């Protein structure tokens, strides 16, 4: 297994290009199941999670061709479709459950394995099931698989979710676009990835209004056609790289970044003493005069502070002046990076969903282990701020969500390299 070696760094300078959003792309790819005509996605990120979705779609009968070194995905689903999403692929990645809505819409039935446990929490499927049931599906759990059937097709309905789940909103949207009549989803998730999916579906001929708000209205149509759609910028990759100059000093411009994608995160950076400025090409970040100040953070659904940036923000706050309180409200077990950061000299107390980070003057390099995708990158950021050498092992988590992380950071002057494992 590969590891990443990081040496404590001086100021960074230069530009980092931000890729298309993994989480948007993972929802856009299954939309190909909704039409016989081709769907082409441009600005796709080159990541192992995208390859897993490619494998899943291929197992269902869709064709996915990676062009331009993987930046363009040409997808098509004109032949016979297999309605069964197998456990062996689904267990690798929870986002596999995003084929449930489109399979049901196109075929009237679907058999999708439950994704199984995940390191950051239980992550059940009840909100997805309730949403699709509202559209007339009957869903039963048999031998670890959800068997969904819509006798006579899906029918438009008004449904309010108990929590604004991102995945359930995406499944509902992809099911409702081909349902008979009008659907309204209340308490819908408002994430930019939902807006991106709605735009793509509209380009395919769907009738959707209200994406980006809590009420989305969908007028079902008989069929969808082909389209070409650019994947929105990855706001989590953006936020992660914005933290690099915040931690090391210097000035970095994140190309393709937009403040509206990370507004709540920028507010916290500002309070922590980091200056953020939108430029013609992206977002420029540098430290204001003085050190990093403690700030309190609560993770919430968009437009609140994203849970996917909590671990990275914690890496910054480890060396802040004072005590920061981080409250995790989306996932019940998402502080696994805290004991690893403690190995580097961070002072963190975790009580349930709340972590208190007492700032220390300096972190020290250590051997640490990545426990999940965002935790692994937080350890790299912490390593950049530490004295000496940090080795992050189990970086396969990292490759799920960050393309060429070591190249992007090296280009702005970071001392980072990948050590190939056997
Ligand atoms: C998506 C993102 C993930 C991000 C998360 C929250 C993708 C591929 N992944 O995940 O990176 O961290 O949004 O912003 O887009 N829940 C239930 N029942 C359900 C569904 C969800 O209880 O049926 C709970 C989950 O356990 C979790 C919370 O709701 O505690 C949020 O989940 P959700 O918004 O569905 O996240 P995902 O779509 O899985």
HSE of 279, CA atoms in CB hemisphere, 13 A: 14
d(CA 15, CA 64): 31
Distance (Å, whole) CA 272 – CA 274 = 6
Separation of CA 163 and ligand 1 centre (Å)? 10
Q: Which one, of 133, 140, 127, lies nearest residue 155 by Cα?
A: 133
- Show the CA angle centred on residue 356, arms to residues 352 and 357, nearest 5°: 140
Specify which residues 230 forms β-bridges with: 42
Site to substitute for ligand 1 among 95, 129, 166, most atoms within 8 A of C-beta: 166
CA 168 to ligand 1: nearest atom: 35
Residues annotated as part of the active site: 118
Report how far residue 29's alpha carbon sits from residue 54's, in angstroms, rounded to the nearest whole number: 8
- Report CA(194)–ligand 1 centroid distance (Å): 13
Residue 330 CA: nearest ligand 1 atom is 30
Q: How far apart are CA 99 and CA 111, in angstroms?
A: 10
Rounded to the nearest whole angstrom, what is the distance from the C-alpha of residue 145 to the centroid of ligand 1? Answer: 19
Residue 121 CA, ligand 1 centroid: distance in Å: 10
Mean pLDDT per 10-residue segment, the chain (422 residues): 89 97 98 98 96 97 95 96 95 94 97 74 84 97 94 96 97 98 98 98 98 98 98 98 96 97 98 97 94 97 97 97 97 90 97 96 94 90 95 89 93 94 74
The pTM (predicted TM-score) of the whole model is 0.97
Query: Can you give the pLDDT at residue 371?
Result: 84
Q: Point out the ligand 1 atom lying closest to the alpha carbon of residue 123.
A: 26
Angle between helices 235-248 and 373-385 (to 10 degrees): 20
Residue located nearest, by CA, to atom 34 of ligand 1: 165
Number of Cβ within a 10 Å radius of residue 225 = 15
Distance 332 CA to ligand 1 centre (A): 11
Among 258, 293, 255, CA closest to 273:
293
Q: Is 8 helix (H, G, I), strand (E, B) or coil?
A: coil
Distance 112 CA to ligand 1 centre (A): 17
User: Could you tell which of 49, 114, 123 is best to mutate to test the pocket of ligand 1, judged by most ligand atoms within 8 Å of the CB?
Assistant: 123
Q: Which atom of ligand 1 is closest in space to residue 170's alpha carbon?
A: 38
pLDDT at 8: 86
Residue minimizing CA distance to atom 35 of ligand 1: 165
* SS3 (DSSP) at 35: coil
Q: Measure 299 CA to ligand 1 centroid, in angstroms.
A: 13
Question: Which residue's alpha carbon is at the smallest distance from atom 17 of ligand 1?
Answer: 124
Which residues contact ligand 1 via a Cβ below 6 A?
23, 26, 94-95, 121-128, 163, 165-168, 193, 307-308, 330-331
Tokens representing 288 are 């204001």
Query: For residue 163, which atom of ligand 1 is closest to its CA?
Result: 29
Atom of ligand 1 nearest to the CA of 193: 15
Residues 406, 407, 410: CA angle, nearest 5 degrees: 80
Sheet with 297-298, strands from edge to edge, namely: 297-298, 323-327, 354-358, 347-351
**DSSP three-state, residue 323:** strand
Task: Report CA-CA distances (Å) from 401 to 4, 238, 367, 388.
Answer: 15, 12, 22, 26
235 token code pair: 């706001």
Sole residue written with tokens 């929802």: 27
Residue closest by Cα to atom 38 of ligand 1:
167
Q: Give which of 167, 312, 299, 300 is closest to 236, Cα–Cα.
A: 312
Ligand 1 atom 32: residue of nearest CA: 165
């Amino acid at each position: 297994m590969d590891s990443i070696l990081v040496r404590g760094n001086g100021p960074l300078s230069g530009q980092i290009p931000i890729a298309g959003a993994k989480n948007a792309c993972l929802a856009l790819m299954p939309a190909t199941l909704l039409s016989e005509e081709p769907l082409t996605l441009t600005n796709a990120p080159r990541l192992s999670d995208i390859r897993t979705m490619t494998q899943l779609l291929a197992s269902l009968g869709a064709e996915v061709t990676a062009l331009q070194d993987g930046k363009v995905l040409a997808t098509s689903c004109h032949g016979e479709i297999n309605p069964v999403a197998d456990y062996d692929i689904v267990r690798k990645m929870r986002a596999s459950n995003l084929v449930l809505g489109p399979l049901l819409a196109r075929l009237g039935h679907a058999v999708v394995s439950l994704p199984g446990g995940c390191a950051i929490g239980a992550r059940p499927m009840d909100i997805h099931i309730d949403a699709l049931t509202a559209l007339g599906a009957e869903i039963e759990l048999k031998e670890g698989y959800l068997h969904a059937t819509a006798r006579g097709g899906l029918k438009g309905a008004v449904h309010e979710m108990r929590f604004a789940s991102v995945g359930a909103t995406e499944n509902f949207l992809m099911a409702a676009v081909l349902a008979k009549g009008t659907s309204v989803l209340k308490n819908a998730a408002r994430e930019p990835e939902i807006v991106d999916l709605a735009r793509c579906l509209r380009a395919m001929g769907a009738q959707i209004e209200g994406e980006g708000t809590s009420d989305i209205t969908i007028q079902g149509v008989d069929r969808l056609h082909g389209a070409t759609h650019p994947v929105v910028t990855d706001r989590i990759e953006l936020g992660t790289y914005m933290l690099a100059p915040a931690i090391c000093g210097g000035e970095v411009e994140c190309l393709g970044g937009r403040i509206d994608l990370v507004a709540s995160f920028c507010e916290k950076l500002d309070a922590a003493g980091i200056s953020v400025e939108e430029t013609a090409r992206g977002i420029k970040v540098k430290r204001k005069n003085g050190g990093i100040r403690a700030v309190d953070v609560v993770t919430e659904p968009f437009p609140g502070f994203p849970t996917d940036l909590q671990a990275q923000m914690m890496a910054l706050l480890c060396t802040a002046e004072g005590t920061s309180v981080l409250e995790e409200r989306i996932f019940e077990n998402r502080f696994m990076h805290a004991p690893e950061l403690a190995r580097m000299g961070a002072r963190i107390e975790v009580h349930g969903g709340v972590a208190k980070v007492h700032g220390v003057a300096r972190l020290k390099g250590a051997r640490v282990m990545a426990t999940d995708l965002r935790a692994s990158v937080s350890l790299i950021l912490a390593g950049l701020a530490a004295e000496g050498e940090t080795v992050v092992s189990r970086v396969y988590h990292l490759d799920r969500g960050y393309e060429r992380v070591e190249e992007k950071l090296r280009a702005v002057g970071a001392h980072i390299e990948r050590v190939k494992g056997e």
